[in-house]
């Protein structure tokens, strides 16, 4: 067994290392690893969100994708390479969830866009991350990855975002902006409606993210909600 350091750099999410370390780790960690192949999952729970590395003769060998991390001269420390992703809300005023700011138990962290026009997040180069609108359904999430140089001093213009759902966002360089559709909510007097991304709301117009399934309704109970995908 060899002592191997995993340093997350500016990445604020959690990760697991399999085999042997399946509990989420949300900081730099020193691991005891035997020679072999390891899968470091960054929490998006999809193919492409994993860094694969090998330990050979007690040292870190190959890393895939190679742009995702650097290895020190002693080959005992793997450090994530991150680039800034700028998320702009457009007309959206709700919350979204992402593995780029995970909670201590490895769940997606919430980003509230009500009071801020833009959030800067750190994504690992070449590794997919997830953005979810809060409906907790398979079609309520899309994935993205940032391509570009590993040099932290490089210009943002060198970066390029690739996304799996062009209906949900428009991209340019390292920036993504939500595409939204208007939803009219009509609540009964004195009551509220649960709306994906907003929680409990009253009668009014709300902007929801296009191309992702949205849930609206009175809450728990059969027939108390309906689902739709804004075009």
Yes or no: say if 103 and 97 are a contact pair by the CB < 8 Å rule: no
Retrieve residue 95's tokens. 């919350």
What is the per-residue pLDDT across 15-58, written as a single tens digit (0 to 9) for each?
Answer: 999 999 989 999 999 999 999 999 999 988 787 889 999 999 99
The CATH number of domain 2-80, selected from 3.90.650.10, 3.40.190.10, 2.60.40.10, 3.40.50.300: 2.60.40.10
How far apart, in Å, are the Cα atoms of 65 and each of 47, 69, 147, 150, 164? 13, 8, 11, 12, 19
* 69-77, long-range: CB < 8 A, 24+ apart: 69/124, 70/150, 76/2, 76/3, 76/4, 76/5, 77/4, 77/5, 77/6, 77/7
Per domain, the residue ranges of the chain are: 2-80, 83-179, 181-228
Retrieve residue 35's tokens. 């020679």
pLDDT interval class at 148 (50, 70, 90):
low
Percent of the residues in the chain that have a pLDDT greater than 70, as a whole number: 93
pLDDT at 158: 57
State whether the Cα torsion 91-101-171-157 is positive or negative: positive
Q: Residue 54's CB: how many other CB atoms inside 10 A? A: 14
What is the per-residue pLDDT across 73-92, written as a single tens digit (0 to 9) for each?
Answer: 999 999 999 999 999 999 99
Would the pLDDT of 144 be above 60? yes
Distance (Å, whole) CA 148 – CA 126: 8
């Amino acid at each position: 067994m060899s002592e191997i350091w995993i340093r997350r750099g500016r990445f604020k999410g959690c990760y697991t290392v399999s085999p042997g370390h399946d509990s989420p780790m949300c900081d730099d960690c020193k691991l005891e690893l035997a020679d072999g192949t390891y899968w470091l999952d960054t929490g998006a729970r999809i193919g492409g969100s994993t860094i694969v590395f090998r330990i050979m003769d007690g040292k870190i060998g190959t890393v895939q994708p190679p742009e995702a991390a650097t290895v020190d001269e002693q080959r005992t420390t793997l450090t994530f390479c991150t680039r800034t992703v700028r998320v702009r809300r457009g007309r959206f005023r709700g919350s979204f969830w992402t593995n780029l700011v995970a909670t201590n138990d490895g769940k997606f962290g919430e980003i509230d866009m009500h009071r801020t026009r833009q959030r800067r997040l750190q994504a690992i180069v070449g590794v997919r991350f997830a953005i979810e609108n809060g409906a907790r359904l398979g079609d309520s999430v899309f994935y993205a990855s940032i391509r570009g140089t590993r040099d932290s001093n490089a210009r943002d213009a060198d970066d390029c975002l690739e996304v799996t759902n062009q209906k949900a966002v428009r991209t340019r360089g390292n920036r993504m902006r939500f595409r939204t559709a208007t939803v009219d909510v009509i609540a009964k007097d004195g009551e509220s409606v649960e709306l994906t991304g907003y929680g409990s709301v009253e009668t009014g117009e709300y902007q929801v993210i296009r191309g992702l399934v949205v849930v609206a309704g009175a809450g728990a109970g059969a027939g108390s909600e309906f689902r739709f995908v804004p075009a």
